[in-house]
Homo-oligomer: A and B are copies of this chain.
């Protein structure tokens, strides 16, 4: 596509291109150097799978492609190859981002092999496990499944039914699937390629249950046959990710040597008794799960990349495709000149930037905590909360954006050669795996409520229960960077909210703060009432489900806005900064606009101001419209990687 296609002069070309690269640098943020190197070295000749490939062919293609990218250094990054080798979470995250620019089955298969299977061994195993198994994981001679999910307990890991029973007579464990619901399900690498599984089950020693532990179990021989006592199944064709061989595993009293239990957080010692560095079973469970946080960080990031690809495709298409002729436009109107079309794409581009800045703060936290340094339990918990929330926000956004991009490209968007529909199919399940988004958002709300409860307890003791909960304690809200930054901005306009302009950052901050704080406090009150009431406790809490989701989302929006504002502060180039300022306003106003009913119901805005927000969004779209191409260039997806036939005309 040449620039004349969308009406810019040749002279403007250099300036626009430059703006795109400056936006990209700003969005790449503190990891700009690593990302630039990765983009320059990633093997991009064979990015996309032919959509006409059937399932079986797709699985083999995906395995070969993963071997290829792993050979080029984009596979096991982040997995240490032996005991004591340093983990490199940043390399893992950036590798996953690069992979997400191409076939998403390859991306997720890398996640299964290196992130989940390799991650379980790395995080839950001891030196012997590392030395024995990680070399095979890294060179892909040992392909493994991550056998956590069960048919009967999708999101309820604590209650998996698989048993891991210690057998003192032979110093072994016996792994068993005692019920139909305990069948391991939806596991990548289980239907075909895996020869081993990291199996989550209830550890039983001498009749006593010690909670969920993880054990390595060989499942197939070299010829691909199930080993004795192991029955694998194949989920067959799926809604997407055709290149992943998802399957089931059932264990019938399978014996495994005692040393194969990943026993960093607990297991049977040489003396045949159970020992663990963490006494409390609950605490142990959450510590074990907590080490797996990187998967969520990666999946959220991959969803965000998919959205960027779709926005890049749809925006470039809207800059070349003309629709009906109109006054002064006899050759037809460029799609992107329709107001309705601008509103499909530009607010999503703005949110794409916003999520990128927030993801970078999350990655920085991950690098700090999993990169070998010191960290507190609370920092670990905050990381998990942020990862859960951002994974949900990013994967929901990806699904929404992929559909919007498909529709924005009309019939052409439906042709698989243009990539959007295949991505859409693949990303669909991102909202469910690595934790169902709705359940993850409950975790976010729970963390917020826990802090609130502590504050309230303190206030209760002081007899000050009527006072605002905000005055006490250091809460998740305040521990994030969002706390002081937004609070300071908001304070500047508090009390004169209706007098500011609609693009006043202080007003955005105030609105985001009010939404998050007020909804949390009222949820807290309703929770207390529900807990004290008589009658069906489940029903009492059940009715708060929608409120819980709102609170979690309102908190995440705060975190995201705060990250955007910090990124603007870090940007030194004036023109770039100006564009980012408008993008940030568009993101913030769109968020307020979508919740304007809440703001009206809670008297945070007047009816007149509410109506004006829609007009301001239109106006920001018009202001950003001339920058559309640099805006998508800034999203960092090289045009040659899009692989879209309709843009090659």
Contact = CB atoms under 8 A, between A and B. Distances in A.
A167 B322 CA distance: 32
A546 B611 CA distance: 13
A238 B549 CA distance: 35
Interface string A406-430: 1100110111110011101100110
A421 B542 CA distance: 29
Interface string A588-605: 000000001100111100
A499 interface: no
Contacts of A407: 431-432
A54 B51 contact: no
Contacts of A325: 159
A438 B341 CA distance: 10
A530 to B, nearest CB: 11
A343 B546 contact: yes
A437 to B, nearest CB: 8
A602 B597 contact: no
Nearest to A180: B649
Given A328-B536, A338-B542, A417-B236, A410 B424 contact: no
A614 to B, nearest CB: 7
Nearest to A594: B597
Interface string A49-84: 001101100000000000000000000000000000
B416 A546 contact: no
A401 B43 CA distance: 39
A621 B325 CA distance: 48
| Most chain B CB atoms below 10 A, which of A149, A156, A431, A597 | A597
Interface in A563-618: 596-597, 600-603, 607, 610-611, 614, 618
Interface residues of A, number: 75
A114 interface: no
A228 interface: no
A594 to B, nearest CB: 9
B425 A425 contact: yes
A235 B415 contact: yes
A413 B417 CA distance: 26
Interface string A317-342: 00000111111110011000111100
A470 interface: no
A411 B185 contact: yes
Contacts of A537: 326-328
Interface string A232-246: 000111111000000
A246 B607 CA distance: 49
A239 B432 contact: no
A607 B618 contact: no
Nearest to A542: B339
A422 to B, nearest CB: 8
Contacts of A413: 239
B618 A610 contact: no
A466 to B, nearest CB: 22
B618 A543 contact: yes
A371 interface: no
Contacts of A332: 156
A240, A425, A601: which has the most chain B beta carbons within 10 Å? A601
Which of the listed residues A152, A329, A545, A610 has the most CB atoms from chain B within 10 Å of its own CB? Answer: A545
Contact of A52 (B237, B545, B597, B610): B237
Contacts of A428: 403, 406, 414, 421
A51 B406 CA distance: 22
Contact of A438 (B340, B424, B538): B340
Interface in A323-377: 323-329, 332-333, 337-340, 343
A542 B337 contact: yes
A568 to B, nearest CB: 28
Q: Across chains A and B, which 5 residue pairs bring their CB atoms closest together, nearest first?
A: A239-B421, A340-B545, A237-B416, A597-B597, A600-B600
11 contacts: A155-B323, A237-B415, A239-B420, A240-B414, A240-B421, A339-B545, A340-B549, A403-B403, A414-B428, A601-B610, A602-B607
Interface of A: 51-52, 54-55, 149, 152, 154-156, 159, 185-186, 235-240, 322-329, 332-333, 337-340, 343, 399, 403, 406-407, 410-411, 413-417, 420-422, 424-425, 428-429, 431-433, 436, 438, 536-538, 542-543, 545-546, 549, 596-597, 600-603, 607, 610-611, 614, 618
